[in-house]
Amino acid sequence: MSSSTADTTRTDDRPFAWFRTLGRNGRKAFIGAFGGYGLDSYDFQVLPLGLVAITAYFGITKGEAGLLTTVTLVVSAIGGAVAGIMADRIGRVRTLMITVVTYAVFTVLCGFATSYETLLVFRALQGLGFGGEWAAGAILVAEYCKPRYRGRTVAFVQSAWAAGWALSVLVYTLVFHLFPPDVAWRVLFWTGALPAVLIIYLRRTVEDAPRVDERRARSDHRGSFRAIFAGDLTRTTLFASLLATGVQGGYYTLATWLPTYLKSERGLTVIGTGGYLAFLISGAFIGYVTGGYVTDWWGRKRTFALFSVLSAGLITAYAQIPEGANTAILFLGFPLGFCMSAIFSGFGSFLAELYPTALRGTGQGFTYNFGRAVGALFPALVGFMADRMGVGGAMVFGAAAYGIAVLALLGLPETRGRELL
């Protein structure tokens, strides 16, 4: 690339310059990663949406219901760590395809579960693919990005989570309108076969960033757990894992228990719950996109700190709104969705910038999904405490998780504008 071209790229502030500067192959990679993460979200969200019907069908307690999410997230740590190593050893795109197939197959099998224990096993195995997809897709796109656009570009990939969540709510509303609850939750899981279509696209059109792929292939230390806990990377890995734990502990508390809270404690119908979630999801989508621009303009660490504090405050306020004030819950859902999603916007770029090419998949896959596994204890804690405090009261424990995230930032460097080496 000539210097004049490079200067033009650096000063291109037109809308969607981040997308144009990806190049043809980078844009294809973006579409593939966006689709993978959106469908990953869809396959995750069908459980919280069907949780009331599943609880009634199998006659389980709230604690056992919460365990369904917890086991998914705990096993996702294994899936994410393994996928990270695979991404460093066999490439980003091949790993992405394997993870998508895995979470799609086991989501469908959840719909055939004949007992709570069987559902628990299938949901755990779904976590293997669920945990690995984000690491492979985010790295794939980050490696095509210009440094000044990396935060917002990967944030747009993250926004696919809100798109998949919205699609799951639409399908949930339709399915539970057409079928009785004891059948509807199964049908909802069966729709998790949708990602099969994405595999065709990935196989035919998407490839790893060439220069990065060559650098990865030449390294003698690619895909090594030992390496991410060696030297200066030890501190990085520990504090990045703690950051991921706090952010995801808060998020999954809300994602798991909000539909149940709206139905059981606010008395909303299926359609009413869908309407309230629409406000939350709209805020989430805008939060993902906006957070990406903020992290590029203001820096990674300050953006994490800002939205951690705001998310903790909003979760507390949301859960403490008195009976009869459902309108306040409706409108508070938008800023809550905005803040709890905007905090995720910087993850893909931040973690990618913390690790060298040969260890990027391993480092990002391990830290993000370790956070999922430990953060998964929060939904389970809420489930067991809900029998004493109510779902709304117990959800406040999710706010404490964001305090952990703020503390973790003290041990991490600012990486805005860093070249991927």
Question: How far apart (Å, rounded) are the C-alpha atoms in residues 110 and 35?
Answer: 22
pLDDT of residue 223: 65
Looking at the domain 22-411, which fold is it?
Answer: Growth Hormone; Chain: A; (1.20.1250)
Check pLDDT > 70 for residue 122. yes
Does residue 393 register a pLDDT over 70?
no
* pLDDT, tens digit, 9 for 90 and up, residues 24-82: 999 999 999 999 999 889 988 899 899 989 999 999 988 888 889 888 878 888 888 89
Whole-number Å distance between alpha carbons of 134 and 203: 17
Work out the average pLDDT over 290-307. 94
* pLDDT of 1: 39
Residue 6 has pLDDT above 70, yes or no: no
Q: What is the pLDDT of residue 2?
A: 39
What is the CA 179 to chain-centroid distance, rounded? 29
Distance of CA 119 to the CA centre of its chain: 22
Q: Would you state the pLDDT for residue 267?
A: 65
Least confident piece of the model among 3-12, 300-309, 405-414: 3-12
pLDDT at 161: 87
What is the C-alpha separation between 239 and 407, in angstroms, rounded?
Answer: 9
Specify the pLDDT at position 363. 92
Q: Which residue has the higher pLDDT, 39 or 258?
A: 39
Let me know: does 254 contact 398? Beta carbons within 8 Å: yes
Q: How far apart are CA 313 and CA 60, in angstroms?
A: 32
- The pLDDT tens digits for 307-334 are 999 999 988 887 777 776 667 777 788 8
Instruction: Provide, rounded to the nearest whole percent, the portion of the chain with pLDDT above 90.
Output: 39
Indicate the domain borders of the chain. 22-411
Task: Record the tokens describing residue 173, joined without a space.
Answer: 């509303």
Q: Sign (positive/negative) of CA torsion 20, 25, 26, 28?
A: positive
Sequence-ordered alpha helix ranges (H) in 191-221: 196-205, 210-218
- Summarised one tens digit per residue, pLDDT across range 137-185 is 888 998 898 888 999 998 899 889 889 988 998 999 999 999 999 999 9
- Mean pLDDT, the chain, as a whole number? 85
Tens-place pLDDT, residues 361-389:
899 989 988 888 888 788 777 777 777 77
Instruction: Report the alpha-carbon distance of residue 160 to residue 369 in Å, rounded.
Output: 18
Residue 340, classed as helix, strand or coil, is: helix
Hey, what are 66's tokens?
């919460």
For 301, phi then psi, to 5°, come to: -70, -45
- For residue 44, give every residue at least 6 positions away whose Cβ sits within 8 Å of its Cβ, in sequence order, or none: 72, 130, 255
The pLDDT of residue 397 is 78
What's the CA gap between 1 and 3, in Å, rounded? 7
HEC profile for 89-145? HHCHHHHHHHHHHHHHHHHHHHCCCCCHHHHHHHHHHHHHHHHHHHHHHHHHHHCCC
Q: Who contacts 70 (Cβ-Cβ below 8 Å, separation ≥6)?
A: 376, 377, 379, 380
Q: How far is CA 212 from CA 208, 227, 421, in A?
A: 8, 19, 9
| pLDDT at residue number 183 | 96
Q: How many helices (H) and strands (E) does the chain have?
A: 20, 0
* Whole-number pLDDT of residue 123: 94
**What's the average model confidence in pLDDT over 103-119?**
95
Does position 5 have pLDDT exceeding 70, yes or no? no
HSE of 110 in the Cβ direction (CA atoms, 13 Å)? 34
Average pLDDT over residues 397-405: 87
Cα four-point dihedral sign 235, 240, 246, 248: negative
> 175-221: per-residue pLDDT in tens?
999 999 999 999 999 998 888 788 888 888 999 888 776 766 666 66
Residue 86 tokens read as 């695979």
